[in-house]
Amino acid sequence: MSNILSQAFNGLSLGSILLLISLGLAFSFGLMNVINMAHGQFLMVGAYTAYVFQQTLATPLGGTEHGVWFVLAIPAAFLVTAFLGWLLEIGLIRFLYGRPLDTLLATWGVGLVLQQAAKSIFGAPNVQVSAPSWLDGGWAVTPDLMLPYSRIFIIGLATVSVIAIYVYLNKSTAGRRLRATMQNREMAACLGVASRRVDAGTFALGAGLAGIAGCALTLIGPIGPSLGTNYIVDAFIVVVLGGVGRLPGTILAALIIGVANTLLELGTTASLGKVLVFALVIAFLQWKPKGLVALRGR
């Protein structure tokens, strides 16, 4: 039982990372109908931002173990990846709306460029980011059940990010414009909403969330240029399962897939567990094609 609970907790932390990645995809896919194959590379950029902060700021800020550099790396990763996302939208994707195949191929090419740039700058081998000392160890719930502080931190980071997104969407003018554009682009434009500006801001927001997820991933294991490739398929599955453009569905789907992945690996292998998860998702979508949370219409 302790082993099952421990795996379920690990799955919850994995689901939290998938949630941060998938929220960005849900925005871009739901708002602009853009299949962004470079989204996984934004995850990689966020992870390498944390690595750069460790290499350059850890010593001046009191050493690696204090972790001040890591706290600063989280907003920095958001800003760096958000800026890259904004550049990608205004420089390329803006000219490809309504052409989904061209958008898919173009973003896939951008992803390859970012991956090769990471290999050229940091090298092909994986690198390790040292966790702050206050994230060492874990919370001993029972003598047989230990919950690592690093994974508790990841879950907390995802929770804070979701609350911030909720406040942004419901309490700010920019968030209300984003929701209006997602629901009815033409009507929002008629009422004076600059939809192209909303598109650029939303794409930047989605990329920034992927950057935060990349920072969180450095607490789990080493990072490398192909880091994003390992998560992009799962992120797309989360978006489709939750309901395209439906944020509550995305949150629920990310947690379900994260926990299911780890629990199914207990009695099988990692590859077979992932195959079983995909099979269950496909079977569910045959029953409810619009996902867990369908968009209501009149």
Three-state secondary-structure class, residue 295 = coil
pLDDT digits (tens, 9 = 90+) for 4-58: 777 777 778 888 888 888 888 887 776 677 788 888 899 999 999 999 999 888 7
Q: Roughly what angle, to the nearest 10 degrees, separates helices 195-217 and 149-171?
A: 170
What is residue 294's predicted lDDT score, i.e. its pLDDT? 64
Provide the residue ranges of all domains of the chain, joining segments of one domain with +: 2-232
Residue keyed to tokens 């207990």 = 266
- For residue 224, what are its two tokens? 């490398």
Residue keyed to tokens 């994260």 = 258
Give dist(CA 156, CA 229) in Å, integer.
25
pLDDT digits (tens, 9 = 90+) for 227-273: 888 788 888 888 888 876 677 888 888 888 888 888 777 767 767 77
What is residue 23's predicted lDDT score, i.e. its pLDDT? 84
Q: Count other C-beta atoms under 10 Å from residue 121's C-beta.
A: 10
Q: Roughly what angle, to the nearest 10 degrees, separates helices 39-57 and 100-122?
A: 20
What is residue 45's predicted lDDT score, i.e. its pLDDT? 93
Average predicted confidence (pLDDT) for the chain = 84
> What percent of the chain has pLDDT above 70?
95
Of residues 253 and 144, more confidence is placed in 253
- For residue 38, what are its two tokens? 């470079």
CB burial of residue 220 (10 Å; 0-12, 13-18, 19+): middle
